Structures are given as structure tokens and as C-alpha cells.
Amino acid sequence: MGVFQDSIDTFLGPVKSYLEDDTITEVLVNGPGEIFVERKGLLEKVPASFHDEQALQAAVRNIAQFVGRRVDDENPTLDARLPDGSRIHAVLPPASRKGTTLSIRKFSKASTTFIDLINRGSISKDAARFLDVCVYLAKNIIISGGTGSGKTTLLNVVGSRIPGTQRLLIIEDSSELNIKTDHVVYFETKPPNEAGKGAITIRDLIRSALRLRPDRIVVGEVRGPEALDLITAMNTGHGGSMGTTHANTSVDALVRLETLAMMGDTQVPVAAIRRQIAAAVHIVVQIKRMHDGSRKVTDIAEVVPEVDDFGRYQIRSIYQYVAQGKSKDGHIVGEMVPTGYIPSFMHEIELNRLPFGRDKFVAPAWYDPKKVAA
């Protein structure tokens, strides 16, 4: 680690101070002379720069060497995790026309909790407690949102509420999750070697995980045909499993899972996959990065376990974020409120005597679903 850190200090010297700044979450290099950082969800250009393109490429190649990856003219992209947990991705010219493009998403050293999200205004107390209830009742959850919306952070928080008596297997392309629970096992994919052999995919890891006596399976990001394997696991006794996916709405998240599930060599009819998804996914949590840089949970919805007569998914929003305007300093003002819909598993909440009554789902008199944050 010491040798690696010395190389980071030497080759990434121009951005070292930003990597050490806890208020900065991401460093973006668009060629040697253009560097941006993300602070409080907003991008800002900084005066730093690399000496030239050769210096920047040397930094990327050096990092690749230390993490056991290869980046060159034949393999012009690098996707890796640094020893401190930070995620790095790079693209070399000529694929990147401005020069080497580099992104370093810093690993948060502090563990985020529901209390932190509530204090930031990312979620309401009742909505957070409801997600806690869903985890306790082993509901399958998909967290959906755009790039940088906070899906991984939210998954960390929700996953950390899993009872310590249960065995949790986490599967990721590049390890980012740090779920705090008593019995957790982490798996990470492996790229092919120089001969194009030895690759271990998320699908491979899910299939192995099913043979390792998991109570729950968590897939950091579902973005390929492994969607079908996760859905199958959710439908075959691994309740309380979770994953994230890129989508703009709760319905889009299910459609994306459907599309990904069909990307592989499966011969399962579309109608069958839709029914499996509708039966497997219980809750979809939509999170969004707002215009002011804040991250907010905008929708928590239940998936009705069947498609309608037209083959469409049926979604019932339980909590929604209602935007009410902007403050003088440009921050979005709003509130997350119940919609009035009582989840179909309310009887399970009451049967387990969980302190979350039906009054928690009563919509305020002023609630108008047309004014929610889209």
C-alpha cells in the first residue's frame, strides 16, 4: 500500500489535494489541461492541470500496473478499484479525443446511515422506517436512479439493516459496497487475461452464490443478462435480495430489468420474464440527483405481483417526493409524503407487530400526485 500511495502522490500530484479533500466526491480529468471536481453534487472547474498528455497517460498506466490491469492501444479503457476503495475509469486517445479522460470516484470513509440521509433531506423519517420494515420482512428491493444519483450509498444504508443472523452474499463488478452486518461475503468479477481467458462474470458469481447457502443476495449494479439470474434467485426462496439499476422511473426500472434479462442466450418468452419480474420485485426505490446537487429519494413503490391485460407492469407509489419550489439560495424545497396507498403486505406488518401503523400511509390533504418530482 505504501509503494502504491507513493506512486499515486507522484503521478497524480496535480489532483492529490482534491483526492484528500473530504468535501469532494469525484475528480474528473478531461485531458491534461481540464480538470473538474464534484462538490456537494455540483461540478466545478479547478485550476490544476497535468504537465502534458504523456504525464497523464503515465499516471493511468502506472495505476493499471499496480491493480493488475492492462491499458494500452489494444485495451484503451481501464475500469478498476484502488486499494482505498475508490473507483477509477479511464479512456485513452484516440478513443478520447481531448486526451486521456479519467474519472476517480472517491470511496467514502464514513458509514452513512438513515439518520444521515434524513438530516440531508434525502428521505423522510417515515419513508426510511418503511424501508426498514421492508428489509425486516425480506422484501426484494430494486434501487433505481441515474449515474451519480446515490444508488450505491442508499444500497449500503438499506443493506446494513439486514439482520446479522442472516448470511449475505454481495456481488459486484468493481467492489464499492461496504454493508455493515455480521455475516457478509464479498465477490468481485475478474477480467480476462491477455489470452482472453479466465474471466469471471457477475452471472458466474450469482450461480456460485446460489450454491453457498445465501439467505440474501445483493448485486451492486444489474447491467447485463445477470438480471435473469437475480430475478430467478428472488423467485426461488432468497427473499430480501437487492440490486441497483439505471433508470429514470420505477416502471422504467422494471422494463430495464426485462431488457437486460433478454440480452443473454435465454429462450424464455417475454411474457414469462415479465411475470417473473412482477412476482420477484416487491419494492422499487427511485433516487434522483436534483438540479441543486442534492440527492433525494423521489418514489418508493410496490410492484403488484402480476401484469395487466396488456402485459404492462403495475406500480403503486407508497411515498413520493413533492417539490414545492426553491429557496432564495437555489435549494429545492419539498417534502416526501405518503400517497394514501396501503401496501398489500400490511397484514405482515401487523402480524409481526411492527410499530408502523396504517396512519403512516395517510396522504396529507394537500397531496397532488401531479406535482411530484418526475
Domains of the chain: 2-105 (3.30.450.90), 114-371 (3.40.50.300)
**pLDDT value of residue 257:** 96
What's the full length of the chain, in residues?
Answer: 374
Q: Residue 53 and residue 56: Cα distance in Å, rounded?
A: 5
CA 284 to chain CA centroid, nearest Å: 12
Residues 6+ positions from 197 with CB-CB distance below 8 Å: none
CA-based nearest residue to 111, from 169, 58, 158, 179: 179
Question: How many whole angstroms separate alpha carbon 218 and alpha carbon 220?
Answer: 6
Q: Which has the closest alpha carbon to 47: 34, 32, 30, 28?
A: 34
pLDDT digits (tens, 9 = 90+) for 113-130: 999 999 999 999 999 999
- Say what the pLDDT of residue 41 is: 80
The set of cell numbers assigned to 38 is: 464534484
By three-state DSSP, how is residue 105 classified?
strand
Give the C-alpha separation, 292 to 294, whole Å.
6
In the sheet with 101-105, reading across from the earlier edge strand, the strands are: 42-46, 35-39, 24-30, 101-105, 87-91, 77-81
Spatial contact of 33 and 40, defined as CB atoms under 8 Å apart: no
What is the per-residue pLDDT for 8?
A: 61
- Burial letters for 340-356: b for 16+ Cβ neighbours within 10 Å, e otherwise? eebbebeeebeeeeeeb
- Work out whether the CA dihedral 134, 136, 140, 144 comes out positive or negative: positive
Residue among 235, 313, 224 nearest 261 (CA) = 224
Q: Before 305, cis peptide (omega within 30)?
A: no
pLDDT of residue 1: 47
The stretches in the chain having pLDDT less than 50 are 1, 374
**Is the dihedral angle over the CA atoms 288, 294, 298, 303 positive or is it negative?**
positive
Count of alpha carbons within 13 Å of 161, Cβ hemisphere only? Answer: 24
Q: 263 by DSSP, 3-state: which? A: coil
- The DSSP output letter for 85 is S
Handedness of CA 121, 127, 131, 133 (dihedral sign): positive
Bridging pattern class, strands 216-219 and 242-246: parallel
Q: Which of 299, 282, 261, 277 is nearest to 140 (CA)?
A: 282
Dist. CA 92–CA 71, nearest whole Å: 8
Give the span between the Cα atoms of 358 and 339, in whole angstroms.
12
In this predicted structure, what is the pLDDT of residue 214? 93
